[in-house]
């Protein structure tokens, strides 16, 4: 499989190079030259296959021969080494929990897959790689955890000061070793912009910079696994399926749509956002106007200009009419999100997190408009304990802190404050 740049101004390349570079030299995102189709027999037998077998078959064509079969199987097995439960909330609505991994966020799957792939692909090279990553909250922890102790890789995380939850901050500032956290005086989009600038900066070309945001194909593509896993659990319902995806940078929902291009029988997707709603507005008006980021209680979705939207546009060849047949978009403010947390709790005692609650709202609104009988899934992208403040205040309830988080919380934060790009560059060159 070759990958080309969506800016069409640099050479196509193979998986290894796309992963090590992160972003093409013309600053474009990489996209696979074709989207392979899985045979019907794969879907007919999916309930009899193990999760690693399913994941291997999905990802293999994208990796090509650049990671050998046994190694790739080992990577997906380690990556997916936890559960993905479906919790039914009503007769036709369920939550798919993607947060059972080590940092309690769905990003663990992409981060673990990428860390293992990159370590393997770089093992025979004598040069260190620097992974530069911007986080609105959850990416930092997942990437730090995934890459901790990986030889030959240094990880530098940029996060917006005061705009991530306490638990999120601890997860990305307490690990040490090859992980460094830079605390940026700004919002997420400032962090993301600095990362993109660093990639373009010829003065940093000696550093082998790469990205561990969902712009990197090794972070983005493994997110397809969730939708196949969800389908496998719900196939027996024999209903049309709709997945509502709480969206920020739009890597996750884009991966789901990629899955359907490979043949996965999911009928519809919903991009559910907070008030950072560039994509729902695009779906309404056909015009894409990113705006500055607004802070919300679902902070991992506080993205004004989502990077992966261009990949979604590519899948539909920039045709908004085609896109709307597969994708709907809805936005909700914090008040509505809190109400939804309560509503879900009142329905069956389920404690959602603010991102999942936004997903639930999008799903409910979509289902209310349908004449056909759908079964709907909203993705629970983070454990509610990661957003303890809003969940506790809204539900007037204590959420028990999982054992694996307690030791992280007791450690001391170590970060380096920076204000602008020149300070980032100075740090990297040091």
Instruction: Catalog residues that contact ligand PLP under the rule CB under 6 A.
Output: 105, 107, 138, 214, 246-252, 300-301, 355, 381-382
Q: Smallest Cα–Cα separation from 357: which of 83, 90, 95? A: 95
The three-state secondary structure class of 255 is helix
Catalytic member of 57, 71, 107, 125: 107
Rounded Cα distance between 174 and 10, Å, is: 38
Token code pair at residue 136: 């609105």
Instruction: Provide the terminal-to-terminal Cα distance of the chain, rounded to the nearest Å.
Output: 37
Pick the closer one to ligand PLP by CB: 122 or 360.
360
Phi and psi, residue 280, nearest 5°: -55, -35
We find the least distance from the C-beta atom of residue 343 to ligand PLP, in angstroms, to be 19
Pick the closer one to ligand PLP by CB: 172 or 428.
172
Rounded Cα distance between 171 and 143, Å, is: 10
Calculate the CA 71 to chain-centre distance.
24
We find the least distance from the C-beta atom of residue 126 to ligand PLP, in angstroms, to be 34
Q: CA of 41: how far to CAs of 38, 47, 52, 413, in Å? A: 8, 11, 17, 51
Pick the closer one to ligand PLP by CB: 117 or 276.
276
The three-state secondary structure class of 141 is helix
How crowded is residue 177: how many other Cβ atoms within 10 Å of its Cβ? 12
302 and 163 in contact (C-beta within 8 Å)? yes
Which residues, 6 or more positions from 222, have their beta carbon under 8 angstroms from its beta carbon? 55, 59, 76, 79, 109, 110, 113, 114, 255
We find the least distance from the C-beta atom of residue 114 to ligand PLP, in angstroms, to be 14
We find the least distance from the C-beta atom of residue 429 to ligand PLP, in angstroms, to be 30
Pick the closer one to ligand PLP by CB: 89 or 358.
358
Token code pair at residue 301: 């979705």
We find the least distance from the C-beta atom of residue 152 to ligand PLP, in angstroms, to be 27
147 and 388 in contact (C-beta within 8 Å)? no
Pick the closer one to ligand PLP by CB: 246 or 280.
246
Phi and psi, residue 394, nearest 5°: -75, -45
We find the least distance from the C-beta atom of residue 291 to ligand PLP, in angstroms, to be 16
Helix intervals (H) in 83-235: 107-121, 138-147, 166-173, 188-200, 217-220, 224-234
Pick the closer one to ligand PLP by CB: 13 or 168.
168
Which residues, 6 or more positions from 92, have their beta carbon under 8 angstroms from its beta carbon? 239, 367, 373, 374, 375, 376
How wide is the angle at C-alpha 296 spanned by C-alphas 292 and 297, nearest 5°?
Answer: 160
Pick the closer one to ligand PLP by CB: 116 or 219.
219
291 is catalytic: no
DSSP assigned state of 175:
-
Pick the closer one to ligand PLP by CB: 10 or 333.
333
Please list the residues that pair with 334 across neighbouring strands.
none
Rounded Cα distance between 118 and 280, Å, is: 34
Q: Residue 341: which H helix or E strand, with range?
A: helix 334-348
We find the least distance from the C-beta atom of residue 145 to ligand PLP, in angstroms, to be 13
We find the least distance from the C-beta atom of residue 123 to ligand PLP, in angstroms, to be 28
Give the active site residues. Answer: 107
């Amino acid at each position: 499989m070759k990958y080309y740049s969506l800016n069409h101004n640099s050479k196509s390349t193979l998986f290894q190079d796309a992963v090590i570079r992160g972003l093409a030299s013309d600053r474009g995102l990489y996209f696979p030259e074709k989207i392979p189709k899985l045979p019907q027999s794969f879907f007919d037998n999916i309930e009899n296959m193990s999760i690693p077998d399913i994941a291997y078959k999905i990802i293999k064509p994208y990796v090509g021969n650049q990671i050998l079969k046994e190694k790739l199987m080992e990577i997906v097995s380690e990556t997916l080494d936890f559960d993905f439960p479906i919790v039914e909330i009503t007769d036709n609505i369920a939550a798919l929990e993607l947060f059972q991994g080590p940092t309690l966020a769905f990003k663990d799957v992409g981060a673990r897959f990428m860390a293992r792939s990159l370590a393997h692909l770089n093992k025979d090279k004598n040069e260190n790689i620097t992974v530069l990553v911007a986080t609105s909250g959850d990416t930092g922890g997942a990437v730090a955890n995934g890459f901790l102790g990986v030889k030959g890789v240094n990880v530098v995380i940029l996060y917006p000061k005061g705009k991530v939850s306490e638990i999120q901050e601890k997860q990305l500032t307490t690990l040490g070793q090859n992980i460094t956290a830079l605390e940026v005086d700004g919002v997420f989009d400032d962090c993301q912009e600095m990362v993109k600038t660093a990639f373009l900066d010829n003065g940093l070309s000696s550093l082998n910079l790469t990205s561990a945001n969902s712009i990197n194909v090794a972070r983005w593509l493994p997110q397809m696994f969730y939708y196949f896993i969800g389908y496998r659990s719900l196939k027996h319902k024999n209903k049309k399926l709709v997945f509502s995806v709480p969206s920020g940078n739009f890597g996750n929902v884009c991966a789901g749509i990629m899955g359907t291009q490979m043949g996965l029988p999911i009928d519809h997707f919903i991009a559910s956002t907070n008030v950072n709603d560039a994509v729902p507005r695009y779906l309404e008006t056909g015009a894409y106007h990113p705006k500055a980021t607004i802070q919300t209680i679902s902070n991992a979705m506080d993205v004004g200009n989502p990077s992966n939207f261009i990949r979604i546009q590519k899948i539909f060849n920039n045709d908004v009419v085609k896109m709307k047949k597969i994708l709907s978009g809805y936005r909700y403010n914090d008040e509505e999100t809190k109400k939804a947390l309560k509503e879900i709790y009142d329905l069956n005692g389920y404690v959602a997190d603010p991102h999942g609650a936004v997903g639930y709202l999008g799903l409910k609104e979509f289902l209310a408009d349908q004449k056909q009988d759908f079964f709907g899934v909203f993705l629970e992208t983070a454990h509610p304990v990661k957003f303890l403040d809003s969940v506790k205040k809204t539900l007037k309830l204590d959420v028990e802190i999982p054992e694996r988080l307690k030791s992280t919380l007791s450690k001391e934060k170590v970060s380096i404050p920076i204000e602008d790009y020149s300070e980032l560059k100075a740090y990297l060159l040091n």
